[in-house]
Structure 1
Amino acid sequence: MSMTMTLKSDYDKLGFLSPVDVLSQKQALRHRRCVQDAERRIGRLHYLAKVHTILRSPYQLATHPAVLDVVEQILGADILLYNTTYIIKEANTPAYVSWHQDLTYWGLDGAEQVSVWLALTVADEQSGCMRMIPGSHVNGQMEHDISHPDENNVLFQSQQVHGVNEPDAMHCPLMPGQASFHHGWTLHSSLPNHSHDRRIGLNIQYIAPHVRQTKLPGYSALLVRGTDRFHYYEEEIPATCDLDPAALIWHEQKNQLHFRIAGNA
């Protein structure tokens, strides 16, 4: 069996792949410094949507051949970049991520989507690496409770799936430069960062071009491989320099739209 067939069969069986080597640790450190330089200029980047439109580093990572080659094995030759966002847990803080499925509130009309989590710092059990429930993606969407807001929950609405059998969970530790790939219905979570360093990861979302956004008009996406025969999304312009003033204005509008869509509207 070829490596490609093994990769796809493992993903189809488990609902995720981890770890996958993308960058050297030296390269990951360079991208971490880009995050920190931008934070010094505009403040926290945590959970801002579509950061590839205002910063070159996330665009370079989202279009890295080692990432897109894996995504292509899962989605096929035609790939749209749907979103990029940094997820940052500060050192020795109680922030956590409850059990959830990525696709729950996105308003997409299909499940041909892949989530990538690319580590720019160590993401191990001490720092709160992701935990996945193998095979959970085959059950489709599960009920999510949003009735208990929690300021320590990283998720936008503190959404959570109850009754998860935690002994089934598999930890997915990553070294800087490694990535995990998971299906939009795969149950996953992460615990607080008890380490003395920030846990910085870039979350990258890809979809097949035939998948529509059904909640609100005006969402944008970027073709990163293959052909878009559908043109359902407003075309994006990736960052060619960091924090261009015009790009920041456009980004603010799209960031607000993203969270309106991600809400339980």
Structure 2
Amino acid sequence: MSLPYGLDPITCSDFKRDGVLCPIDVMPEDEASTVRARIEVLEARSHGRLSGLARVKPHLLMPFLWDVVHDPRIVDPVTSLLGPDIYCIGSSIIDKPAGSDSYVAWHQDATFWGLSAAEGATAWLALSAANSESGCMEAIPGTHTLQMEHLDTGDARNMLGAREAVRQEIDRSSARVLVLQPGQMSLHHPLILHGSGRNVAADRRLGFVIRYVPACIRQEGATVTLVRGRNLSDMPLEVAPEDEMGPAALSRHADIIRCAGGVIRRAKEAHLAAAAQRPETET
């Protein structure tokens, strides 16, 4: 397969070793600004902010985000890392408003995803500047080789859906700050340890995040978007939205998010139950 935007072998080796790549140029800044503007038009129609439901798997509601999920400038680099058969198991509009006290606790994404194997690459596409001031992501290279124990923080300021965080103390001395300009992306492994701080900048930190896995992986009880290649795991497949926030897409989306929520809930319960059975010396 010809990959015009594919990664070279050295870069692929860097991802395998570190679990993170940043930055990768995807689109010109004005094109990223157009994607941001289209999201903000929809926000304006929803009293200034999309619902939490609409910000999860929004590519199933908004044709222009379906196109971004399939954009070869994103998918070619992912194909270089994961192979020719690729699912998108989820996408999110991630918004950290200016001056908010929201943060993302240190965690590993795949902990509650219910995957048959923790393999994949998450694309974090910046639609505004993501830097230390705006609370960009930080990641600790090399932490993707071992699943760590997580707990439920119960903190409403923690932007993670399950409010999770790793249990152990984090040594941030080797953390990498993933600075992105609008139109650039980072790629990170589902088990890389990462988090982000508050946004003290004057502008929001807005990103569109896409979670890709090889199509040999199953996420039992969920549905996926087949982005490229074959449906190797015979997962139920999602379809493109007919129009923007249309009634048919909204109805399908509600069912899909309900099922996805069940997957995460069951995986979280199983992880926390297993952690409770371990001797204290193992934590």
Which range, TM-score by smaller chain? over 0.9
Alpha-carbon contact 1:11-1:17 (below 8 Å) kept: yes
Within-5 A mapping of 1:162-173: 162-173=168-179
Q: Aligned to 1:145, what secondary structure does the other structure show?
A: strand
CA distance in 2, matches of 1:78, 1:177: 25
Alpha-carbon distance between aligned partners in 2 of 1:107 and 1:131, rounded to the nearest angstrom = 24
Percent identical pairs in the alignment equals: 33
SS at 1:160 equivalent: strand
Structure 1: runs of 5+ lacking an equivalent = none
Cα distance in structure 2, aligned partners of 1:103 and 1:241: 31
- In the TM superposition, 1:1-265 aligns within 5 A as 4-42=8-46, 43-45=49-51, 48-138=55-145, 140-146=146-152, 148-161=153-166, 162-214=168-220, 217=221, 219-231=222-234, 233-263=235-265, 264-265=268-269
1:74 offset after TM fit, Å?
0.8
Q: Secondary structure at the match of 1:86?
A: strand
Note the C-alpha offset of 1:259.
2.2
Using the alignment, how far apart are the partners of 2:90 and 2:7 within structure 1?
Answer: 28
Unaligned segments of structure 2, at least 5 residues: 1-5, 270-283
| Gap change, CA 1:230 and 1:261, over 3 Å in 2 | closer
Residue identity in the other structure for 1:204: I
Q: Does 33-42 or 118-127 show the bigger shift?
A: 33-42
The aligned amino acid for 1:207 is V
Query: How far 1:167 moved relative to its partner?
Result: 1.4
TM-score (norm 2): 0.87
| Regions of 4+ moved over 6 Å | none
- Give the structure 1 partner of residue 273 of structure 2: none
User: 2:198 & 2:95 partners in 1: Cα distance?
Assistant: 11
Indicate conservation of the 8 Å contact 1:46/1:88, yes or no: no
The amino acid of 1:158's aligned partner reads R
Aligned partners of 2:7 and 2:77 also within 8 Å: no
CA RMSD of aligned residues (A): 1.5
Alignment length, in residue pairs? 258
Report the Cα offset of residue 55 of structure 1.
0.4
